[in-house]
Chain A
Amino acid sequence: MAQDFEPRANTVARLILAGLVLMPLTFVGLGYALERSDYVTGQNETVEQPIPFSHAHHSGEIGIDCRYCHTSVEVSAKAGLPPTTTCMSCHSQLWTEAEMLAPVRESLSTGVRLKWEPVNELPDYVYFNHSVHVTNGIACTECHGSVGEMRLMRQAAPLTMDWCLDCHRDPVPYLQPPEMITYPYRTTSQMSEIDQAPLAEFYDIHPGGLTDCSTCHR
């Protein structure tokens, strides 16, 4: 009677056994990598806007403070988007004929708000609050990147939960003094020049509760 299995069946069986273990691991690994890829997190994505507003020009080159336009950042959960009159505070006199600014003038004359597209979006179950961050030593650039160098706004951080937790577990190394909170540039040497220990006392930072679920999820 002929054999049911040829000798190579042993090899095939071993390969299948190995595959049973490796295949799921590979898929889990791929899924893990995909979840953290720019494609899914949106990191480094530049969003098209009704006007190609340059933060590099306004905050970097002219030195206009972030809060000139984002007026509620210190007192509210939302940093605030400027109304058209804020743009026109300068552009009623400067670049009044510029093609690029036509939507601003149209918005002023019609009263229809400019429709800026969100760049940094969090899921609805995250209750992020700008004011508590900027009044406790976290600079704008910590999350938004070196805005003073961005001709067009892009999402600088992955905005994943483990990225949030990197800081929430121990925010002290990320602290900056009050006068640097709205500094529009971010450099690698910048943080190392700051002595954060006195700042932790100044801002009265207690990292313990910052990883409670209810800190961010209500």
Chain B
Amino acid sequence: MSVGRALVLLLALAACRDDMGEQNKDVAYDPSGVWSDGASTRPRVAGTVTRDAPLRVIALAEPPEVTPALLARGRERFEIFCAPCHGFDGTGDGRVVQRGFPRPPSYLSERLRAAPAAHFLSIIADGFGVMYPYGDRVEPADRWAIVAYIRALQLAGGDAPQPDPARAAVPVETPFPPADEAPE
């Protein structure tokens, strides 16, 4: 076969169709014509008991042993889900509160120092007042970890460590400047 013909055949490659890129299957977040709401991701049927439901109940029943790893996990989860309102030191002046969200009570207060762990566990799961439930975002084991970290914050008495740069990007001095150019 001549070189010329080979080159012409190469051209055909540029026009390959992408049938396999759009397969007849539904993956998460794909639109779907099967259900009336047009989504392939289905909500749970009311009353569904998840396969791990017993494990979740067990995880909540007894407090885990407090270890450095548990506190580290608690700090990470706290800074993701709680610190936006409760602040990185637990006093309740998080950045969302600074923007007008009603200020939550300080963890450092006498009342919350005396509150049992179950108090925090249930509020994380079910919410309280203007606070939405976080049960769907924070797993049972992580709720214990957060409570352990709240206890650590209470011991620290407002003297909390600097948050990780990832969770306080603009306001905290970080080893990495926010951007080479100032954000718009």
CB distance from A71 to the nearest CB of B (A): 5
Once bound together, how far apart are the Cα atoms of A25 and B176, in whole Å?
46
Q: Which of B11, B168, B169 has the most CB of A within 10 A?
A: B169
A184-B184 contact in complex given A62-B96, A193-B175, C-beta closer than 8 Å: no
**Interchain CB contact (< 8 A) of A151 among B18, B136, B184:** B184
Q: Determine if B14 and A149 form an interchain contact, defined as CB atoms under 8 angstroms apart.
A: no
Q: Determine if B101 and A93 form an interchain contact, defined as CB atoms under 8 angstroms apart.
A: yes
- Size range of the chain A interface in the assembly: 35 or more
List residues of A (116-164) whose CB comes within 8 Å of B's CBs.
Answer: 118, 123-125, 146, 148-149, 151
CB distance from A154 to the nearest CB of B (A): 14
Once bound together, how far apart are the Cα atoms of A108 and B7, in whole Å?
58
Q: Determine if A71 and B137 form an interchain contact, defined as CB atoms under 8 angstroms apart.
A: yes
Q: Which of A86, A90, A92, A112 has the most CB of B within 10 A?
A: A90
Q: Determine if A118 and B180 form an interchain contact, defined as CB atoms under 8 angstroms apart.
A: no
**Interchain CB contact (< 8 A) of A65 among B99, B167, B180:** B167
In the bound complex, residues from chain A placing their C-beta under 8 Å from that of B52 are: none
CB distance from B56 to the nearest CB of A (A): 14
A60-B169 contact in complex given A24-B11, A88-B132, C-beta closer than 8 Å: yes
Q: Determine if A146 and B96 form an interchain contact, defined as CB atoms under 8 angstroms apart.
A: no
In the bound complex, residues from chain B placing their C-beta under 8 Å from that of A86 are: 137
Task: Kindly supply a per-residue 1/0 record for chain A positions 27-67, scoring 1 wherever the CB is within 8 Å of any chain B CB and 0 otherwise.
Answer: 11001101100000000000000000000100111111101
Q: Tell me, yes or no, whether A190 is within 8 Å of chain B by CB.
A: yes
A125-B170 contact in complex given A62-B95, A64-B84, C-beta closer than 8 Å: no
**Interchain CB contact (< 8 A) of A124 among B21, B133, B167, B176:** B21
Q: Tell me, yes or no, whether A174 is within 8 Å of chain B by CB.
A: no
List residues of B (128-176) whose CB comes within 8 Å of A's CBs.
Answer: 130-133, 136-137, 164-172, 175-176
**Interchain CB contact (< 8 A) of A93 among B3, B80, B100, B164:** B100
Q: Tell me, yes or no, whether B28 is within 8 Å of chain A by CB.
A: yes
Q: Tell me, yes or no, whether A185 is within 8 Å of chain B by CB.
A: yes
A27-B166 contact in complex given A93-B102, A123-B21, C-beta closer than 8 Å: no
CB distance from B23 to the nearest CB of A (A): 4
Q: Determine if A25 and B167 form an interchain contact, defined as CB atoms under 8 angstroms apart.
A: no
Q: Determine if A179 and B21 form an interchain contact, defined as CB atoms under 8 angstroms apart.
A: no
List 16 contacting pairs A-B, 8 Å CB cutoff, sorted by A.
A24-B11, A35-B14, A63-B167, A63-B168, A65-B80, A83-B136, A93-B100, A93-B130, A124-B20, A148-B183, A180-B164, A180-B165, A180-B176, A185-B169, A189-B177, A189-B180
10 smallest beta-carbon distances between A and B, as pairs? A31-B14, A123-B21, A24-B7, A124-B23, A183-B166, A179-B164, A65-B80, A89-B132, A63-B168, A182-B166
| Residues on A facing B (Cβ under 8 Å) | 20-21, 24-25, 27-28, 31-32, 34-35, 56, 59-65, 67-68, 71, 77-78, 81, 83, 85-86, 88-90, 92-94, 112-113, 115, 118, 123-125, 146, 148-149, 151, 179-185, 187-190, 193
